[in-house]
Amino acid sequence: MKNKLLILPSIFFAIILSIFFYLLITERNPSEIPSNLLNKNVPFFEAESLFKNEKFISSQELKNEIILVNFFATWCKPCRDEHVYIKRFSNKKGIKVIGINYKDNSKKTIEWLKNLGNPYSDVLIDKNGRIAIDWGVYGIPETFIVNSSGIIKYRHVGPITNKIYKKINLIINENE
């Protein structure tokens, strides 16, 4: 009996290490926060557009095609870093890129987009952060993929990196 008990420490140890190993090799991001909105309809909202004179109504616009929704602000440095990737998405066929300008100055935003290039087919103004609250935005920048039936398929917190860019492309292809 006693002899058998003595191998218990090594067994426990082996189990714990295997779990660590599994977590290490699986693709995971410890700072990724799962969204309750995943696989649900996009929250309804109305917003002013930065360039267009008509009101944007989410239930009318966010359907019939795959849409990438990107929360950004000119005061946020990582937003500038990910801008190249947003531009790449806007050149891609079969996807519409919409920007939501979070708690920002509209004049500065127009200037910013002029300098860096405007990848967005529409930029919506979220002056007081209300839309961001409805979307459960955790921090700027944040990116969502909405499929053609208006269902959120993916959410990424933080700037888009090369790795995330590839991942989003996969998701877009899956939903096409």
Interface residue list for another protein (CB under 8 A): 2-3, 6-7, 9-10, 13-14, 16-17, 19-25, 28, 30-31, 33-34, 77
DSSP summary character for residue 49: B
CB of 17 to another protein, least distance (A): 5
Complex with another protein: residue 2 or 107, whichever CB lies closer: 2
Complex with another protein: residue 9 or 114, whichever CB lies closer: 9
The C-alpha atoms of residue 123 and residue 100 are separated, in whole angstroms, by 6
CB of 27 to another protein, least distance (A): 10
From residue 159, give the alpha-carbon distance in Å to each of 16, 21, 152, 165.
33, 27, 18, 10
CB of 95 to another protein, least distance (A): 27
Main-chain dihedrals φ then ψ at residue 79, nearest 5 degrees? -65, -40
Handedness of CA 48, 49, 55, 60 (dihedral sign): negative
CB of 60 to another protein, least distance (A): 34
In residues, how long is the chain? 176
**HSE-up (13 A, CA, CB side) for residue 149:** 6
Complex with another protein: residue 8 or 91, whichever CB lies closer: 8
Complex with another protein: residue 21 or 51, whichever CB lies closer: 21
By DSSP bridging, strand 152-157 and strand 142-146 are: antiparallel
